[in-house]
Amino acid sequence: MATAAPVRTDRYADDPRWALISPDPYPLLIGGSLRQAADGATFNAVSPRDDRAIARIALAGPTDVAAAVRGARDAADGDWGRTTGRQRAKLLEQIATVIETHADELAFLEAVDAGKPIASVHYSDISISLDALRFFAGRAQAIAGRAATMPDSSVIHHEYLEPLGVVAEILPWNGPLWTGVQRMAAILAAGNAAIMKPAQMASLSFMRLAQLLAELDMPPGTISVVAGPGPVVGEALVGDPGVDMISFTGGVEAGTRILELAASQVKRVSLELGGKNPNIVCDDANLDGAVFWSKLGAFGNTGQICVCGSRILVQRGVYDEFVERLSAEGAAMRVGDPLDDDTELGPVISSGHASKVWEYIGVGKGEGRLVTGGERYADAERSISTFIPPTVFADVSPECRIMREEIFGPVVALQPFDTLPEALQIANDTSYGLASGLFTSNLDRAAYLSRGLKAGQVYVNQWFSPGVLEAPSHGYKQSGFGGVGMEKYMQAKNVFTRIGEPS
């Protein structure tokens, strides 16, 4: 006899914060004005915590995209394009003040729409957003070109760094608020007009931010926000000749499509794509630190981070102990409702994505030894598929799918190694090259592995970059294309001035 599914109850059903969500569709921001889609279309924001529609959002179409591009073009070629760095910094500071003022509201929207634990949104996403705005406010006031001495003494050279014009930023769903604010801040600091397209699966917090931005004093079209599916909104932005640059964070397949569409216009493109990031743990590592950071690297944001350490190579002398300790740490993590302040890991972004992760877990059971996780929760609160426990597979071979393919969920695969050259060979045997890490107490080993890893970021005795703004990184191979940081949103102009002899 089949067991009846548990009846799920919502402890937060009567939470007054639900009143923060508008009953009306969240509008687009186009040409300085908030408006509904030209054809009146909307789509639902669906919460992964219970698979329930919680809001409606205006669904942009080609007409709306064209209007957003016209507005951005007018701003870039007009008043906004003539601003000074100090004026742009002032706008970024104003945006920071708005986010600080509405931090509780934005955190709530991010938690219920993207499934991110609300405490983590406050601690990480909001603080990262504010840091980015203030960092780039400073950068806006310190843009400098260079001067080179010419072989002809009658010629003076100056290099100017100038904005590209109109930049369309296509955002990922795994960090919609902080990635959007960080990219937008850099685009504006460089002097460009920004068209932001949040991911359809996680648009709510950024659409609310668009409403707040509309209240600021800035030239119309300086910032536009259009929501909708990539094949419609994203492709319309890529194809519009009024857009000077496309910047995208997401999967390789979508990035490849953007390159194909942009090729006929030779349009500037920047891509931050996926990763299957190796984490090497040597037998002389401090295991307390290695386990702590590896847990964060593997399971942070429910494994939905492009730089997550999803495959761990452990030297044989400490392999069994490391597997046991990491599995225990993963099993102890608090997986639950993102509105609970004690939750460490919330649900994955959607039931559709959850089905892919569960499929990989099923594949993993035939490829490795399941140590912890891998089974659906039986309690009512976490009974839907989007709640996935931290899952550890051991004794996985390099050719296995869970060791080679990006899962983007709380699933990690481990295998032992004997020598450092062997570890490097396994680590670099991938089409990706976004991030990597290593744990050792030996400086020579650290230098050898750091130089040998084919990845844009190498974490030594830690995981994650503590300075993504100060030291932006470019992925190797299929993980990156087209530049990083604020500089990717700018272009250089070299001016050569011949001066005459004094009279």
pLDDT band at 386 (very low <50, low <70, confident <90, very high): very high
Rounding to the nearest 10 degrees, give the CA dihedral for residues 98, 104, 109, 114.
100
What pLDDT digit, counting tens, does each position of 40-75 carry? 999 999 999 999 999 999 999 999 999 999 999 999
Using DSSP bridges, classify how beta strands 33-35 and 411-417 pair: parallel, antiparallel or unpaired. unpaired
What pLDDT digit, counting tens, does each position of 417-455 carry? 999 999 999 999 999 999 999 999 999 999 999 999 999
pLDDT band at 503 (very low <50, low <70, confident <90, very high): low
DSSP string, 343-385: -SB---S-HHHHHHHHHHHHHHHTTSEEEE--S---SSTT-ST
Per-residue confidence (pLDDT) for residue 3, from 0 to 100: 55
Instruction: State yes or no: pLDDT of 4 exceeds 80.
Output: no
First to last CA, the chain: 104
Instruction: State yes or no: pLDDT of 2 exceeds 60.
Output: no
Per-residue confidence (pLDDT) for residue 9, from 0 to 100: 81
| pLDDT mean over 18-32 | 97
The model scores a pTM over 0.85:
yes
Q: Write the CA distances from 236 to 62, 170, 244, integer angstroms.
A: 6, 12, 13
What pLDDT digit, counting tens, does each position of 218-256 carry? 999 999 999 999 999 999 999 999 999 999 999 999 999
Token duo for residue 431 = 């089409």
Token duo for residue 477 = 């191979």
Label residue 488 exposed, middle or buried (CB < 10 Å: 0-12, 13-18, 19+). buried
- Find the length of the chain: 503
- Residue 413: which H helix or E strand, with range? strand 411-417
Per-residue confidence (pLDDT) for residue 501, from 0 to 100: 76
- Phi and psi at 341, nearest 5°, equal -65, -20
400 catalytic residue (yes or no): no
Token duo for residue 47 = 């919460």
Q: Average pLDDT, whole number, for the chain?
A: 96
Q: Which of 110, 169, 282, 306 is catalytic?
A: 306
Per-residue confidence (pLDDT) for residue 5, from 0 to 100: 60
Task: Return d(Cα 488, Cα 114) in angstroms, integer.
Answer: 28
Token duo for residue 57 = 């959002």
pLDDT band at 263 (very low <50, low <70, confident <90, very high): very high
The count of other CB atoms within 10 Å of the CB of residue 182 is 21
272 catalytic residue (yes or no): yes
Percentage, residues of the chain above pLDDT 70: 98
| pLDDT mean over 280-301 | 98
**Domains along the chain?**
23-273 (3.40.605.10), 278-466 (3.40.309.10)
What pLDDT digit, counting tens, does each position of 408-419 carry? 999 999 999 999
**Better pLDDT: 349 or 503:** 349
Contact of 307 with 341, CB cutoff 8 Å: no
pLDDT band at 502 (very low <50, low <70, confident <90, very high): low
Task: Return d(Cα 78, Cα 399) in angstroms, integer.
Answer: 55
Token duo for residue 172 = 């990922």
What pLDDT digit, counting tens, does each position of 167-186 carry? 999 999 999 999 999 999 99
**Better pLDDT: 26 or 1:** 26
- Residue keyed to tokens 């045997």: 429
Contact of 82 with 219, CB cutoff 8 Å: no
Q: Please give the distance of CA 489 from its chain centroid, rounded to a whole number.
A: 17
Instruction: State yes or no: pLDDT of 264 exceeds 70.
Output: yes
Residues 6+ apart with CB under 8 A from 266: none
Q: Which of 110, 169, 272, 406 is catalytic?
A: 272
Per-residue confidence (pLDDT) for residue 500, from 0 to 100: 84
What pLDDT digit, counting tens, does each position of 350-377 carry? 999 999 999 999 999 999 999 999 999 9
Instruction: State yes or no: pLDDT of 8 exceeds 80.
Output: no
437 beta partners: 279, 459
